[in-house]
Amino acid sequence: MVSPVSVMASSSSVLCEDQLQCSICLDVFTDPVSTPCGHNFCMICLKEFWDSSSHCQCPVCKEEFPKRPELRVNTFISGLAAPFKKQVPLKPKKVLCDSCTEEKLEALKSCLHCGVSYCNIHLMLHKTTPKLMKHKLMEPVENLEDYICQKHERPLELFCRDDQMCVCQFCTEGDHKTHNTVPIEVEVRSKKTESWFMQAEVQKMIQDRLWKIEEIKKSIELNKKITEKADGVEIFSALMRCIERSQAELLQVMEEKQKAAEKQAEELIKELEQEITALKRRNTELKQLSHTEDHLHLLQIYPSLRIPPHTQDWTDFSINRHLTVVSLIRIMIQEMLSTEVGKIDEIKLKGLQQYKVDVTLDPDTANPFLILSDDRKRGTCGDDQQNLPDNPERFDLCPCVLGKEGFSSGRFYYEVQVRGKTEWYLGVVRENAKRKGEITSCPEDGYWCVCLKNETEFSACDSPVIHITMKPAPQKVGVFVDYEEGLVSFYDIEAMFHIYSFTGQTFIEKIYPFFSPCSNHGSKNSPPLIICPVN
């Protein structure tokens, strides 16, 4: 029979410190307690979290408790954490006494004036001799020359805030005479105080990412349950009686979207975990900084520690809405619209065309590779970059351009010829949408577009992307917008066909017509996008 002690020893050898870490303070558990939902925290951390919040909920999964749970220390987890709490960090390399002649003892202090490190015995003179008692003593270091001014051979005892460097007393009488200098100890106290705030911010960033991982996992689990429960009849029977042949296709779409969502979630969680690792490393560096007595080293590395690790802003990010009932219904409706259901008649088309507007291209927004006609009605992508000012309105990386006229109310309609092109994007964009760097064309980022890729692949840039069967690809596209209704619709004018509609959108700022003729691809995609008169 295996004893409990040996089990404990075995388990602690397998466990790592991260697995026994409180997600609030990010340290090994102290008096660990468990919430009813199964998550663990330090008792004091959880109490302080609940005391500072109006809701009694789990800091990780956000489950709310109607009554504040009574907390008791989890003795099993406490036992697992104990060995890690006892671990002592590795001590820095020993500095030996320079005055010992036989067996050298470990140095207790280094003297900046003498340039020598002393053990406790040889340090006595510095404690008893009045002249030596004025010398500057510090924690023992090997590289004492780094703490001496190379110009005046005096101890670096002051910090110049103007030049952000350590200086000696003589420096303040020369090059740094008019500068703001303070004793190193004063600057170190200031930096340590600031580093504590930085630690708190880094810990919050880590916690936010842990919560985001939990949120993504929950979202995927919910999507999975919807996929497992959906049978093509239970959810859509009322809507789909007239198109029963599409039910099998719907289930296939659901499964494909679930797989896409799971893949996306894996990538996001991996990215979040990489950020957490970088932030934990920074947190450890800041923690070590707050305890170091090596003042010069602290002041030297502090500027680099102030620069936060490269991370994304995950505040408003959420997993794509792949499997909500509303989005699935929208997918099926779009599949319906890809058949005869999408046909429109002349009366419908004339009703849209009555809202025609005169759209011209805005050269101030055009990517430097785009060539616009003199009448601002056609645009194509050239092979050479033009020398244009990089103003805030201009697309700097993607070959895009906006209409000159923006709209903040009412309805409007325009038509664009796309004949002969193998790739293009059309639609509308909100005024403050991103224009620099890589752009994601989706409603969440302020873009409502349809596009053609690889000559035959036609899609609506929704969330998720909707692939549409169009044979042949449209030659002229009509774009209709109803600002108040939050509607953006696209039509194949020659085929008299409704392509796609973004519905239920919320416009709160001006929106502009959006055009991208896309790259030339060696003249394969050279025909221009042309804004046509509406007949």
How would residue 241 be classed by pLDDT, with cut points 50, 70 and 90? very low
Report the range out of 66-80, 199-213, 314-328 with the highest average pLDDT.
Answer: 66-80
Whole-number Å distance between alpha carbons of 478 and 480: 7
What is the mean predicted confidence (pLDDT) over 48-61? 82
The lowest-confidence range among 6-20, 136-150, 366-380, 462-476 is: 6-20
pLDDT at 224: 66
pLDDT band at 329 (very low <50, low <70, confident <90, very high): low
* Among 112-116, 203-207, 480-484, 519-523, the range of highest mean pLDDT: 480-484
Highest mean pLDDT among 4-8, 42-46, 310-314, 426-430: 426-430
What pLDDT does residue 293 have? 67
Query: Cα(323)–Cα(260) distance, rounded to whole angstroms?
Result: 11
User: Per-residue pLDDT tens for 417-435?
Assistant: 999 999 999 999 999 899 9
Q: What is the pLDDT of residue 479?
A: 97
Q: What is the pLDDT of residue 52?
A: 75
Lowest mean per-residue pLDDT among 84-88, 355-359, 412-416, 438-442: 84-88
Check: CB of residue 32 under 8 Å from CB of residue 42.
yes
**Higher pLDDT residue, 112 or 500?**
500
Cβ–Cβ under 8 Å, residues 23 and 11? no
Confidence of residue 292 (pLDDT cuts 50, 70, 90): low
More confident residue, 135 or 218: 135
| Close Cβ partners of 195 (under 8 Å, ≥ 6 residues apart) | 286, 289, 290, 302, 305
83: exposed, middle or buried (Cβ count in 10 Å: 0-12, 13-18, 19+): middle
Question: In the beta sheet, which residues pair with residue 407?
Answer: 511
Question: Looking at residue 244, what is its pLDDT?
Answer: 47
Could you give the CA distance from residue 463 to residue 319 in angstroms, rounded to a whole number?
A: 10
CB atoms within 10 A of CB 344: 17
For 503-530, the DSSP string reads -S----S-EEEEEE----TTTTT-SPEE
What SS3 class is residue 246? helix
* Peptide bond preceding 472 in cis form (omega within 30 of 0): yes
Question: What is the rounded CA–CA span in Å between residue 31 and residue 50?
Answer: 16
Bridge partner list, 448: 428
DSSP secondary structure letter of residue 534 = P
230 or 61: which carries more pLDDT confidence? 61
**Is omega for the bond preceding 32 within 30 degrees of 0, making it cis?**
no
Q: Which two tokens stand for residue 103?
A: 């067996």
Instruction: State what percent of residues in the chain have pLDDT above 90.
Output: 26
Residues paired with residue 166 on neighbouring β-strands, in sequence order: 159
Residue 107 and residue 97 in contact, taking contact as beta carbons nearer than 8 Å: yes
- The Cα-based distances of 33 to 14, 43, 71, 214, 215 in angstroms read 22, 6, 6, 20, 22
User: Considering only 175-179, 240-244, 328-332, which range has the smallest mean pLDDT?
Assistant: 240-244
Question: What span, in angstroms and rounded, lies between the C-alpha atoms of 527 and 233?
Answer: 47
* Close Cβ partners of 91 (under 8 Å, ≥ 6 residues apart): none
> What's the rounded mean pLDDT across residues 162-179?
88
42: number of CA atoms within 13 Å, CB side?
17
Cα 11 to Cα 259: distance, rounded to the nearest angstrom: 35
